[in-house]
Chain A
Amino acid sequence: MMEFISTFISASLIALFLQNAIYERALGINILLYASRKKKDVIGFALGLTYITTISSALVWVSDRFFWDFEYYNLIIPVLYILIVSIIYVVSLLVVWRYFPKLYWQIKKFVHLTVFNCSVLGALFLNRQIGESFFSYIGYGMGTALGFFLAGSLLYIAYERLNSELVPKAFRGMPIMLIYVGVISMALHAFVGYA
């Protein structure tokens, strides 16, 4: 049991710090730039991502286990993973619509952005790098979403200052936010020890 827990934790930590989806791979950066304007959105997107990446990682583990030796698996992976995410998306929406109708109308507008984005698909593609165990898959999936939350929180904290008059007008918004994310990514790079 302890082995499973340690696999889960180490996969989560790798995805959170060493292979942070935003700082190390820039996956989901467009969603991050959009979500970091409001604290509520950062939390909402992070929760949505955590749910989707964790559950879909579990299903991806099953699919990888059965189809990995299939000759053309590489080619069908995108469709297969999107299908897995879609099934979770539809089932979850139905459950929310049936039991939490108020929440359903609140999340309806942007829920597809949380589900169909490159950080979810990227996490599913990279799952296998850490290991082949079930717990490493879901640990990596959850760590990816936590990494998004970390990056989103850091960007939210600086959001007002980055969009203030201190910054030249043409650089306000997306350009300066990208530079800021790049600088933090550089710091993390040095911290991890790639340099």
Chain B
Amino acid sequence: MDLAPVLDGFAVVLEPTNLLYCLIGVVVGMLVGVLPGLGPAATIAILLPITIGIEPVTAIIMLAGIFYGAQYGGTITSVLLKLPGEASSVVTVFDGYAMARQGRAGTALGIAAIGSFAGGTISIVALSFLAPLVASFALDFGPPEYTALALLGILLVATVSSGSRLKAVVAAGVGLLLATVGRDGFTATERFTFGNLNLADGLDFVPIAMGLFGLGEILYNLEQRHNATQAPTTVANVWPSRQDLRQSSGAIGRGSVIGFFLGILPGGGATLSSLAAYAVEKRRSKTPERFGKGAVEGVAGPETANNAAATSSFIPLLTLGIPANATMAVIFGALLVVGVTPGPQLVTEEPELFWGVVNSMYIGNILLLIMSIPLVGLFVKILRVRPAILAPITVLITLIGVYTVNNSVFDIVLVIVFGVLGYLMKKAGFDPGPLLLAFVLGALLEDGLRRSLLIFDGDATGFFTRPISGTLLVVFLLVAVYPFVATLRNRRRQEQAQDTSDPNTKELV
């Protein structure tokens, strides 16, 4: 591996301006991330406008800061308020909230910060070596391979998203449809623009992400009215004791490995890895009864794992240009906006940008560790501000922020439309994640499909005659068909169970 671009990348990242932007990113990311109900995807979406108009490398570094800050913000609400910002910090609630109730919130947050740092860093080191290899492998990919890969990626994300799988696929379909709005790349025909000039260039990613995740979530919270769990006034002893550190060092090590490997998988890598890390810690522990009652390993393991996974999920994004989950879809869109096109060409053609992205993650991680410990007190204060006061501020940030991207009032209209759509989707049990992901991949998918058809001279079986696209499509079909098989098998098993068991159970069904 050629080390020169890596080191050059570091020199760029360490410039004072870039460090400052990264610092701002971490702090702002944490500030918005602690708002109850706003997970990393929502936080990054809301903050997208502030990265626009900055130099690409600086903007990427700021994004990395926002990303890590937002992740940690979710941890803070899990521990202090029992409100996980996203699925991957749900397990943190078990022991984190228990610790907070014992007055050890500081220790929980401190160990989470240290674990996140360790997991993230180990993951980035592994990524630095693995990503160029994967990218060089993917350089030979043609349109058929990309078509198959994008299809598989969308399906996997839909499969492991929270809630109904059928609804997730519907959401993905709507996302693909939205991506067709605007001028067709091949024939320059205007599609679904209804004569509106604002739509001729297609729908912009930023208002969709900000509306679906940001505004939709705020509208939904307006209705739900979280019951006011009071955050503690002060959080002491953020730096964990030596005993706590000793107790959780094993958990941090194992969490890093679990997180890294599960994170590469598309879909719920971070969520799955935090669950797996918790289960492993509990299984290995000599005193499993402490888990759920404030065991420090129960915070360290999952928090390490979810950060390691969040980091390694950058591998498919940076090397294949395929985002592995909703948060990565937002990052993907953000990178496009700042002028970076993730994909196999990135490493070879624009190494300074590629290593800029990777190295900014090192810096973001370090700054997160440095900032989180002194700033925890500040965030606790923010948590004590009533949600009723924070909500209109977030709305105004969103509405004014989206305007500043293109100086367009039409974008404000779009963000409101997608905010309402996001709210209605949540009410109707549709996860907006697959929609955004499919929207982001829509152009790539259609382009790949049409090019492939031209290559194959209209013969769709051509996809199966090429080894890589054929394999990917077979996996696609297996993943698509598996749920039906599983449902049938479950139903049969249930019927058998009912036949043999007490007839009373039948009434329950």
Tell whether A pairs with B: no
A residues apposed to B, CB below 8 Å: none
Give B contacts to A, CB under 8 Å. Answer: none
